[in-house]
Amino acid sequence: MRPRQTIAVLALIGWFVALYLGLHALGIGGELKCGTGGCDTVQTSRWAELLGVPVAFYGVAGYAAILAVALVGLQPVWLGRRGPTLLLAALATGGVLFSGWLTYLELFVINAICRWCVTSAVIMALIWITATFAAFRRPSFPAPRTDP
């Protein structure tokens, strides 16, 4: 599986996780399925919103952007180009920093862990590792031949 395919699959899963948290933030679906975790503590903390928007929707937008770039990058026209790879690495770096900050808040400020948020953070970290690995890897496609 190509890195962009791996990223597309991870971004799709991450998008659904963020969407579930976002729908809960809108009051759809009632109680979060969280087992023994502290999802509700996190989701009702003052950090659950950023600039008046539930944090989960930043995740929805971020994963959607990553998914779109990965799918476009899989089109034959873009397959051999590095642009989508670099853009994915840049988006994933933003995403991993953002989810890292949220995880820090959960652990050291709110003192509660939301399993769905951790799942999202892990997915974003995997996307970042894959995208960074792809960005620093030598292109696998052959360089154009030049006639003598």
Partner 1 sequence: MKRFYVMLGVLTLALVAMLVYLLQTNPSAPRAATEAPTTVLDDGFRGYTVGSDNAPIEVTEYSDFECPYCANFATVQMPTIRQQLIVTGKVRWRYRDFPIPSHRYGRYAAHAAQCAGEQGKFWEMHDQLFFNHSWAQTGKNPTGLFREFAKAAGVDVARYDACMAAGRFASRIEFSRQEGLQRNVNGTPTFFVNGTELRTGPRLPASDDFKRLVDSLAARRK
Q: Is 27 in the site for partner 1 (CB under 8 A)?
A: yes
In whole angstroms, the minimum distance from the beta carbon of 80 to partner 1 comes to 14
Binding-site member from 18, 39, 96, 127 for partner 1 (CB under 8 A): 39
Binding-site member from 104, 112, 131, 135 for partner 1 (CB under 8 A): 112
Pick between residue 94 and residue 115 the one whose CB is nearest to partner 1: 115
Name residues contacting partner 1, limited to 46-105 (CB under 8 A). 46, 74
Binding residues for partner 1, total number by CB under 8 A: 28
Pick between residue 5 and residue 93 the one whose CB is nearest to partner 1: 5
Q: CB-side exposure of 8: number of CA atoms within 13 Å?
A: 14
Binding-site member from 31, 52, 77, 141 for partner 1 (CB under 8 A): 31
Q: Are 10 and 129 in contact (CB under 8 A)?
A: no
Interaction site with partner 1 (CB under 8 A): 1, 5, 8-9, 12-13, 16, 19-20, 23-24, 27-34, 38-41, 44-46, 74, 112
